[in-house]
Structure 1
């Protein structure tokens, strides 16, 4: 058993190619776990922060596209 906040696809990606599309980036001073899309943009998967106010910011919501 794994006790983790990560989803099963983060731990066991379906393919190595999909895993390589994911990375941790700094955006507006916050650390984000993102996935590169086919058009070169990035989609937010997870916000990595200890500040509760960061989670109220719509710019960091999972699914948001970074341009």
Structure 2
């Protein structure tokens, strides 16, 4: 079976639901990003969800970027 999706295998089939307790989708400047909440309350970007190729060239939405105050 082949799934054509921007989501990872673990997000579709799941493993342990507690592993995803700190993850959520948020909207930043009109773009949807998948983030994980850090211990200090900030967020770390895991993935950008977009159909616009230009969004992926913007380092603001690069995986690993820390977002505070959202």
Q: Per the shorter chain, which TM-score range?
A: 0.7 to 0.9
Unmatched tracts of structure 1, length 5 or more = none
Q: Secondary structure at the match of 1:38?
A: coil
Counterparts in 2 of 1:49 and 1:8: CA distance versus 1, 3 Å: same
Q: Secondary structure of 1:26's partner? A: strand
Runs of 4+ in structure 1 off by over 6 angstroms are none
Paired residue for 2:43?
Answer: 42
Q: What TM-score, normalized to structure 1?
A: 0.79
Change over 3 Å in CA distance of 1:44–1:5 after alignment to 2? same
Residues matched between the structures, number: 67
2:59 pairs with 1:58? yes
Cα RMSD (Å) of the superposition?
Answer: 1.7
Q: Which runs of 5+ in 2 are unaligned?
A: none
